[in-house]
Amino acid sequence: MNKFDYRVPYADTDNMGVVYYANYLIYFERGRTELLRQIGYTYKEMEEKGLYFPIRNVECNYHSPAHYDDMITIETTLSEIRSASVVFHYVIKCQDKLLVTGMTKHPLVDYSFKPTRLPQDLKDMLEQHLEVIEK
């Protein structure tokens, strides 16, 4: 699991004085990028090797809003690894307050969006960081 702190800029807020709902998906992206960096294989390196993780499904549940200048924490967990897809779960908090939970499912593809498989060395590294999420 990776914890990443992020300061909410004015740019992310909206007319209602809270973070606009689409921006949490960008926070999810920051979380999984940092989790992969922590695992030891950056997403940038994966792309350079021709491995892409586009998104097939997203779920996002909004419990309480984030506001301008809040320091939020994105907790990212790798919760499923299959030969041709991976799943991440996310919990976003502000101090101890739960703001948002979510999930993204990613097929593994090459640059032309054709399905491909995880290289064994990467699969081994990822599996060491797998944490099953209770539903």
* Active-site residue set: 14
Q: For a copy of itself, give the closer residue by CB, 69 or 124.
A: 69
Helix ranges (H only) for the chain are 23-39, 43-48, 120-127
The least distance separating a copy of itself from the CB of residue 116, rounded to whole angstroms, comes to 14
Question: Per-residue b/e over 81-99, b at no fewer than 16 CB within 10 Å?
Answer: eeeebbbbbbbbbbeeeeb
The least distance separating a copy of itself from the CB of residue 55, rounded to whole angstroms, comes to 5
The least distance separating a copy of itself from the CB of residue 58, rounded to whole angstroms, comes to 4
> Which stretches of the chain bind a copy of itself, using CB under 8 A?
7, 9-11, 13-18, 20-23, 25-26, 29-30, 33, 42-44, 52, 54-62, 65, 67-69, 111, 113
Among residues 95, 106, 92, the alpha carbon closest in space to that of 62 is found at 92
